[in-house]
Amino acid sequence: MNTWTYIARRTLYVIPVILGVCFLIFVLFNVFSPDPAMIMLGKHATAKQMAELRAELGLDKPFFIQYLDIVKASFTFDFGRSWSTKQEIFQMIKQGAIPSLTVTLPGFLLSTLISIAISLLVAFYRGKMIDKAVVFFCVAGMSISSLAYILFGQWFFAYKLGWFEISGYEEGFPYFIPYIILPVIIWVILSIGPDVRFFRTIILDEVYQDYVRTARSKGLGENHIMFKHVLKNAMVSIITYVIIQLPFLILGALLLESFFSIPGLGAMTLNAINSSDFPVIRAMTVLSAVAYIIFSILTDVLYTVVDPRVRLH
């Protein structure tokens, strides 16, 4: 099937998926969640005050109209205004996207490249001491709370040693660089453990395939086999893992942005949760769902680039 035909088919397929996701979001926020008017006004509010606020927030509309508003927002990205800041939510998202990406994108690229390199190394020396040591440190590192890494990094490397900025953010290149170095390092440390374990498993699955034994019987060197054959065949699974992570980069890093006072989407979402700002929370939920669907299609298309044997259906 032609790639463009496949993309067109998947795009049409996305429409009912988004409608279903919007319905789940509607049920979650409009049916099962507490009354936002009660949360904002408190339990001592009068019935008149509650009715006025519900009308102002559009909560008095029929459920079907409220559902259509969510569907419309998922296609137009017109999410209305924040209840707490009164700003347009889409403008808030645009403002927060750049700070988030300055942290998440370098951290993601570095952690992915480092993890693939380490995974290839331990797969090359599989079963030996270096392999066992890397697996041990990965499991040990994953057992420690991300909050512990953040607090220790701020206290020791920023406060005690003064190597990095403790918190804050300055817009514009290269002014933001001093503020993102420590968050990026912590992101890499937090990501290497699960990434290495996943990539190592994928690469080892390929190492024990019949084509690897055939290549060895032909006298090919281990380096040639690892990079020319094993890594190439493992890339389909690696691409799936990597591409699916991309929507979460756009949405920012909740704890990192909050503790380092970076005005990104992660901090914005956390503030919205703390202030029960349902339109912002709902907008980020819709945005994450749409981004996930889009990147899933991109993953399928990239399969054919990495492995021409894969056919789109």
Here the tokens at position 141 are: 């590192």
| Alpha carbon 220 to chain centroid, angstroms | 39
CATH topology of domain 94-276: MetI-like fold (1.10.3720)
CB count within 10 Å of CB 206 equals 20
Q: How many CA atoms lie within 13 A of 47 on its CB side?
A: 0
Query: Dihedral through CA 26, CA 67, CA 284, CA 83, nearest 10?
Result: -100
- pLDDT for res 1: 57
Provide the pLDDT for residue 69.
85
State the amino acid at position 268 in one-letter form: M
Could you tell me if 61 and 50 are in contact, meaning their C-beta atoms sit under 8 angstroms apart?
Answer: no
- What is the residue extent of each domain of the chain? 3-76, 94-276
Cis peptide before 174 (omega within 30 of 0): yes
pLDDT at 313: 57
Biggest CA–CA distance in the chain, Å, is: 84
Q: One digit per residue, pLDDT tens: the chain, 313 residues?
A: 566 776 677 777 778 888 888 888 888 777 776 667 776 666 677 777 777 777 777 777 788 888 888 888 888 888 888 878 888 888 888 888 888 889 888 999 999 999 998 988 888 888 889 888 988 998 888 888 888 889 999 999 998 888 998 888 888 888 889 999 999 999 999 889 899 989 988 888 888 888 878 878 877 777 777 777 788 778 878 888 888 787 777 666 778 888 898 888 888 888 888 877 888 888 888 888 888 888 877 777 776 666 555 555 5
pTM above 0.85, yes or no: no
- Taking alpha carbons only, the member of 118, 163, 124 closest to residue 141 is 118
What residues are paired with 88 via a beta bridge? 81
**Separation between Cα atoms, residue 237 and residue 299, nearest integer Å:** 10
Minimal CA–CA distance to 300: which of 1, 5, 6, 2? 6
SS (H, E, C) the chain: CCHHHHHHHHHHHHHHHHHHHHHHHHHHHHHCCCCHHHHHHCCCCCHHHHHHHHHHHCCCCCHHHHHHHHHHHHHHCCCCECCCCCCEHHHHHHHHHHHHHHHHHHHHHHHHHHHHHHHHHHHHCCCCHHHHHHHHHHHHHHHCCHHHHHHHHHHHHHHHCCCCCCCCCCCCCCCCHHHHHHHHHHHHHHHHHHHHHHHHHHHHHHHCCHHHHHHHHCCCCHHHHHHHHHHHHHHHHHHHHHHHHHHHHHCCCHHHHHHCCCCCHHHHHHHHHHCCCHHHHHHHHHHHHHHHHHHHHHHHHHHHHHCCCCCCC
- Angstrom distance (rounded) from CA 232 to CA 202: 11
